Each structure stands twice: as C-alpha cells, then as structure tokens.
Amino acid sequence: MAPPIIDVHSHLMPDSAFGRLPRGMSSYQSGDDEVGIAVEGRGRGRGAPGNLRHIDAHRAIQADRGIDVSLIGPWIDMVKGPQDSGVQKRWCRVINEGLATATSGTPHSRFLAALPETDGGAASAELEWAVGQGAVGGMLAAKPETGTLARNDFASLWARAETLRVPLVLHPGDFTPPPRLGEHFMVNLVGNPFETTLAAGALMAAGIPESHPDLRIVLVHGGGFLPYQFGRLTAGFARWPSLARLGRRPPEELLRFFFYDTVLFDERPLRFLVDLVGADRVMAGSDCPFTMSDARPFAAPGDLPPEVLGANAARLFNL
C-alpha cells in the first residue's frame, strides 16, 4: 500500500469563528464571497473567500490535487489582527475550536493550532490545550508585532513544544502590510521570505537550537532566503563582535535543525534545497487555497524523493 500524500502547508479560517469574535473585533462582508475582520484601533484586514472558510471547499481543491491528508493552519494575517494580548488569546481559542470541529473525524484533514504571538506563555498554554483537542502542531507568526522570536517570553513555548513533541510551523503574515511593501504585492513576494529568514536568524542567534535540541521547527516557503544566504549568516556569526561573543553554532551547521516545505514555485530552487539540507528535511506543501499556492510537487513530482511527498510529514507530525 502506497504511503499517503500529505500537504503540510494549507490554511483555513473556519466560518464559525466570524460569528464568535471577541470584544474589540467585528466582522464585515466584502464582495460576494469574502468575510473579513475589523479590529478596534487597527481597522480592517483582508477578507477571506469561501474556500478559505469552508472545509468542504478546501477539501475539494486538495482532492483534485491527489492529496490524501492536509495539515491545516490558520491564516496568520487574521490571527495577528488584535494586538491586545487578552483579545488575541481569546481569538486564537475561537479559531482553534473552529479548526478542531472542522477537522474532527475526517481522514483527510488535521489542524495546526493558532498561537498568540503577543504572549509566549499564552502561546504555550494554547498549544497544550489544542493538542488535547487533536492539533498535530502549532502555527506561529514568524514576525511578532513586537520584537522577534528571540523574545524571552517564547522560552516556555519552545519548552512546551519540545515536551509535547509536536512541530511548530513558522509562517509570515501582516494584518496591515508596511507601506513600502504594499506596492506590487511585494509584502508577499519579498516580505514573506524575508520574515521567515529573520525568524530563523533570531532563533539561531538566541541559541534556541542549543537549548532545545529536540524542538521541531518548520520553515515555510522553502525556508525563505535562509538556504541561499546561510553563508552570509555564518560569516556574520563569526565576525560581528556582538554575535561572535555569543559563541553560537554556525548557521551552516544549523540548516538541518529546521524542516522546510516545497513552496518555491520552481524545480531549480527546490532541487537546490533538497541537495543542501537533505531529502529527510523537506516536506511537500502547497499554501492552499491562496492565489500564491504551489501544487507542483503533487501534480508533477518529477525527481522529488518519494519521502518528501508524505513519509517525512507522517514521521514529524506523528500521523
């Protein structure tokens, strides 16, 4: 029997969540099929279309692609809407309850918990609660609104994820994109891989791989720019005085601390990634159901090592 084909990178904002918004948040309709959120003091974010809100529509897309199991996380842009820590904590619980209900009892979908990035302690507690409800991991904003993932309050989250032996998927997102990245969609095309690279660099500089060697971290979009710029990071860790004094392991040695998805949109960088970090560190993903999704590994696997299509994910996420 062939192993299941697994997509480790997809998204859903359960429709039920928009009717249970915490105080300080409201919903709005945009066009014929989009529902968005407005946050007091921050305004409106982008709306979510039906295939991002309804599990049946989401599943139809994945089934057409031949995907047996989807790992579904929240849309980070919406998770990051409320910046009041209490409101964001309650919002994540609403999202996770919706994701748990949407995926419960299905053979084709599992969920990754929405985690608040405003409070690492709250993220740790929410991860543990969500795992008890069936979550196979968590999805955390690669870019907190305050600081980086090197913040001290995230220490409890790293420890909890390590103890629970569940992966954390780092995903970039912005409720309100910076103006300089808003033009020409650069917030997605350049901003997203940059934020993933910054998140990985912050973790390495903070010594997280040394203090939490069994932590499982997944970098989406092929690891951002990390696989291409690890040499510059390695040189900086050795030469820049404030970094050199920390005595951290060279980033070149830490490439295999992370796991990576295949959302790279071209075979050449994907082959480079597999050769660089090893096939056992790469898992197929699509970013379904967004316009910028990449289903190539499922449509035309080509020379992709077979374990990338499912066995790696099954092992990492304890499926």
Contact indicator for 91, 186 with CB cutoff of 8 Å: no
Condensed to tens digits (0 to 9), the pLDDT of residues 177-219 reads: 888 888 888 888 998 999 999 999 999 999 999 999 999 999 9
- How far is Cα 299 from Cα 109, in angstroms, rounded to an integer? 19
Contact indicator for 93, 20 with CB cutoff of 8 Å: no
Residue 154 phi/psi, 5° resolution?
-80, -5
Would you say residue 5 has pLDDT above 90?
yes
- How far is Cα 94 from Cα 76, in angstroms, rounded to an integer? 14
Indicate yes or no: pTM above 0.85: yes
On the CB side of 113, CA atoms within 13 Å amount to: 31
Contact indicator for 74, 11 with CB cutoff of 8 Å: yes
Condensed to tens digits (0 to 9), the pLDDT of residues 130-149 reads: 999 999 999 999 999 999 99
pLDDT at 175: 86
Q: Which residues of 214-226 are buried (b: 16+ CB within 10 A; e: fewer)?
A: ebbbbbbbbbbbb
**Domains detected in the chain:** 6-316 (3.20.20.140)
Strand 258-261: give its sheet, edge to edge. 6-11, 69-73, 109-114, 137-141, 168-171, 217-219, 258-261, 282-283
